[in-house]
Amino acid sequence: MNKIGSVEVITGGMFCGKTEELIRRLRRATIAGQTVQVFKLAMDTRYDPNKLVSHAGDDYDAIPVNKAGDILEFLDETVTVVGIDEAQFFDDEIITVVDELAERGIRVIVTGLDTDFRGEPFDPVPALIAQAERVDKLQAICMVCKEPASRTQRLVNGEPARYNDPVVIVGAAEMYEARCRLHHVVLIG
């Protein structure tokens, strides 16, 4: 019998629990006797270079890779579940790699920011969302008003970032916080 693969995307802004939810699903798959392999981009060295680590401190062993194509190179042939963290850091080849994994009958669970600090779509995550069988958009808590937050606020010296600042800067609470639509600010110029 051929197993049908699938793609699940866990998305939302920073601090909404994407990695925590990924780890929860991976642990459940392990309990169910499924073979799990997890990948993260090597440039994401926050907390631990060889583990997924949520902002809450949960962790799970991961293989650091330099580009999306490396996932196929390091893939164990017995794997039935693949976890991929922080898809927005990968090159666009991640879209093809995720599709190929699902075509091989693998359950692929991917996390990624759906929007950047500007509030604009953060490629390649929107394309992954479009090909997914399941999408869960999580919300954090706005650090200004304590209401649900769907945006990621980048701060530079405590002030909102400027629109023309680089899109990808790896960081955590020292430079980002969750914000609702009302309190999300991007400076122009």
Instruction: Tell the burial category of 140 from Cβ atoms under 10 Å away from its Cβ (0-12, 13-18, 19+).
Output: buried
Place of tokens 């073979």: 35
Catalytic residue among 8, 21, 86, 177: 86
What phi and psi values does residue 15 have, to the nearest 5 degrees? 70, 20
Polymer length in residues for the chain: 189
Instruction: Annotate 149-172 with three-state secondary structure.
Output: ECEEEEEECCEECECCCCCCCCCC
Catalytic annotation on 86? yes
* Residue tagged 């809450």 (tokens): 56
Q: Are 84 and 100 in contact (CB under 8 A)?
A: no
Residues catalogued as catalytic: 86
